[in-house]
Structure 1
Amino acid sequence: MNILITGITGLFGSYLAAEFASLGKIIGLRRANSSTRLLDQKNLEITWREADLGDPSQLESAMEDVDLVIHSAGMVSFFPSDSDQLYQTNVIGTRNLVNAMLDKGVKKLIHISSVAAIGRSTELTTINEKFKWTESPLNTDYARSKYEGELEVWRGEQEGLEVLVINPSVILGKIADDRSSTSIYSYVLEEKSYYPKGDINYIDARDAAKITRLLFEKEAWGERFILNAGSISYQEFFKQMAQSFGKKAPQKPVTPLLLNLAVWYAGFSRWIGASKIPLNSSTARISQLSVNFDNTKVKKALGYEFRPLLETFNWAK
């Protein structure tokens, strides 16, 4: 089986490549200037093909002799100035990929989305796969782009693709990965003082990759699955992280007044070009909420036991 992985040079893509290597030949899709550092560490045999998600003809060429596509590529940003690029990458890029698969007769697609694509509600504290997207001030531009990207995937299913959609929460890799969600470690490593009052939903990168493989082997086509080890308060999350890393944990909760000031300061600093802090009104609200993305469906399907959070932190060092 020939398995093409987009986003293979990123954090989760590299773990997916290692996990799926036992099932077939890995074909990595990358842009010409992409770093392969994360994959070099894993000592994998990869056949490389160069293509950009924005170029339909390149994507069609990349689909030659492919049996399965794992679409892990995407842009993560909470900067308001990146909204257009988020749409181009996460929506148009996914549309181009789906169209290329349809044109070349490649039938199987595992789409790596995000719990952000499911959406949020000010009225619900537990959200599962049945939750229907609704417009809300809690939905960031990133969330909207992932949601609309999923719509392209489901449209592809209507036109003949076999689709499996994966919605992971915050993916925790190793500190040395220095990609994507691993930047959250720097908050404790720098011994910041304040913590948000809300909850964080998380999953170990190794668990997320293995579950994705198990769902593929189970042939769970036409389904979407939340991948989330659990939700925990930011206070406890940072406390466990600090314990593992030998650092001082944040001790002070962020008050509404401080948060409003922080949002104003972040916006002003971005406006004058002095900062790239991704804090805005939506991300500020989210950080103060207690929300759990329910993992009942995937646990029932696989009977999977997630790694404890402290084990992940000890591995991540």
Structure 2
Amino acid sequence: MNILITGITGLFGSYLAAEFATLGKIFGIRRANSSTRLLDEKNLDITWREADLRDPSQLESALEDVDLVIHAAGLVSFSPSDSDLLYKTNVKGTRNLVNAMLEKGVKKLIHVSSVAAIGRSTEITNIDEKFKWTESPLLTDYARSKYEGELEVWRGEQEGLDVIVVNPSIILGKISDDRSSTSIYSYVLEEKSYYPKGDVNYIDARDAAKVTRLVVEKEAWGERFILNSESISYKEFFNQMATSFGKKGPQKPVTPFLLNLAVWYSGIARWMGASKIPLNRSTARISQSKVNFDNSKVKKVLDYEFRPLLETFNWAK
């Protein structure tokens, strides 16, 4: 089986490549200036095809002789200035890929979405795959772009594609992976004092990649799966990390006053070009909210047990 992976040079894409190499030949899409460091470290045999999600003709060429596509490319940003770029990457890019697959007759698509695409509610604290998207003050431009990207995938299914959608929570790789989703480690490494009062949902990158492979082997077409180990408080999350890293964990809860002040400061700092802190009113509310993205569907379908958090931290450092 020939497997084409978009976003293969990113954090999750590199773990997916290693996992799916057991099922077939790996083809990777990259741009001319893309770094392949994460893949080089895994010593994988990859056939490269240069293409850009913004160019439908390049995508059609990249799909030649491909049996399965894993769409892991996407932009993660919570900066208000990136709203247009989020749409172009996560929505239009996905639309171009779906259309190219339909044009070339490539039928099987694994779409890597996000729990952000499922949505949130101020009233509901346990969210599963059946949760219906609704407008909420907890939604970000990133969440909207991932939701609309998913709609393109489900439209592709209606037009003939076999589709599986996976919705991972925060993916924890190794510190050395040095990607946006591993930057959460720096908070404890720098021994910050404050912790949000909300919950964090997370998954080990190795678990996320393995579960994705297993649902493909199950041929669970037409389904979506939340990929999430568990939901725990930020305080416990940071304290376990601090224990593993030999650091002092944050001990002071963030008060509403301090959070509002931080939102104001980060907005001014961004306006002055002095900060890229991903903090705005929506992300501030999210950090204080308690929500569990329910993993019971994956556990039931696969009888899968996720790695303990401390094991992940010990591996990551």
Spell out, residue by residue over 1:10-51, the C-alpha distance to the aligned partner (whole angstroms, 9 max, x if none): 000000000000110000001110000000000000000000
Residue in 2 that maps onto 1:196:
196
Residue in 2 that maps onto 1:119:
119
Q: Which amino acid in structure 1 is aligned with residue 57 of structure 2?
A: S
Residue in 2 that maps onto 1:80:
80
Q: Which amino acid in structure 1 is aligned with residue 25 of structure 2?
A: K
How much has 1:93 moved relative to structure 2? 0.1
Residue in 2 that maps onto 1:295:
295
**CA–CA distance in 2 between the matches of 1:249 and 1:29?**
40
SS state at 1:124 partner: coil
Q: Which amino acid in structure 2 is aligned with residue 135 of structure 1?
A: E
Residue in 2 that maps onto 1:59:
59
Answering whether residue 157 of structure 2 is matched by residue 154 of structure 1, we say no
**CA–CA distance in 2 between the matches of 1:191 and 1:62?**
45
**CA–CA distance in 1 between the matches of 2:54 and 2:240?**
41
Residue in 2 that maps onto 1:246:
246
Spell out, residue by residue over 1:229-274, the C-alpha distance to the aligned partner (whole angstroms, 9 max, x if none): 0000000000000000000100100000000000000001111112
**CA–CA distance in 1 between the matches of 2:273 and 2:71?**
34
Spell out, residue by residue over 1:105-152, the C-alpha distance to the aligned partner (whole angstroms, 9 max, x if none): 000000000000000000001000000000111110000000000000
SS state at 1:146 partner: helix
Residue in 1 that maps onto 2:6:
6
Residue in 1 that maps onto 2:140:
140
Residue in 2 that maps onto 1:108:
108
Where does 1:90-101 land on structure 2 (aligned, <5 Å)? 90-101=90-101
Spell out, residue by residue over 1:47-82, the C-alpha distance to the aligned partner (whole angstroms, 9 max, x if none): 000000000000010010000000000000000000
SS state at 1:5 partner: strand
**CA–CA distance in 1 between the matches of 2:288 and 2:44?**
41
How much has 1:180 moved relative to structure 2? 2.3
Q: Which amino acid in structure 1 is aligned with residue 193 of structure 2?
A: S
SS state at 1:311 partner: helix
> Identity across aligned pairs (percent)?
86
**CA–CA distance in 2 between the matches of 1:175 and 1:272?**
30
**CA–CA distance in 2 between the matches of 1:204 and 1:8?**
17
Spell out, residue by residue over 1:193-228, the C-alpha distance to the aligned partner (whole angstroms, 9 max, x if none): 100000000000000000000000000000000000
SS state at 1:23 partner: coil
SS state at 1:22 partner: coil
- Unmatched segments (≥5 aa) in structure 1: none
Residue in 1 that maps onto 2:231:
231
Residue in 1 that maps onto 2:41:
41
Residue in 2 that maps onto 1:307:
307
Q: Which amino acid in structure 2 is aligned with residue 109 of structure 1?
A: L
**CA–CA distance in 2 between the matches of 1:59 and 1:222?**
23
Q: Which amino acid in structure 2 is aligned with residue 114 of structure 1?
A: S
SS state at 2:183 partner: helix
**CA–CA distance in 1 between the matches of 2:191 and 2:147?**
34
CA-based RMSD of the aligned residues comes to 0.4
How much has 1:278 moved relative to structure 2? 1.1
Residue in 2 that maps onto 1:272:
272
**CA–CA distance in 2 between the matches of 1:184 and 1:52?**
29
SS state at 2:21 partner: helix
Where does 1:161-180 land on structure 2 (aligned, <5 Å)? 161-180=161-180
SS state at 1:209 partner: helix
**CA–CA distance in 1 between the matches of 2:301 and 2:287?**
30
**CA–CA distance in 1 between the matches of 2:276 and 2:112?**
27
- Unmatched segments (≥5 aa) in structure 2: none
Q: Which amino acid in structure 1 is aligned with residue 226 of structure 2?
A: I
Give the TM-score taking structure 2 as reference length.
1.00
Give the TM-score taking structure 1 as reference length.
1.00
How much has 1:275 moved relative to structure 2? 1.2
Q: Size of the alignment, in residue pairs? A: 317
Residue in 2 that maps onto 1:259:
259
**CA–CA distance in 2 between the matches of 1:103 and 1:268?**
47
Residue in 2 that maps onto 1:71:
71
Q: Which amino acid in structure 2 is aligned with residue 106 of structure 1?
A: V
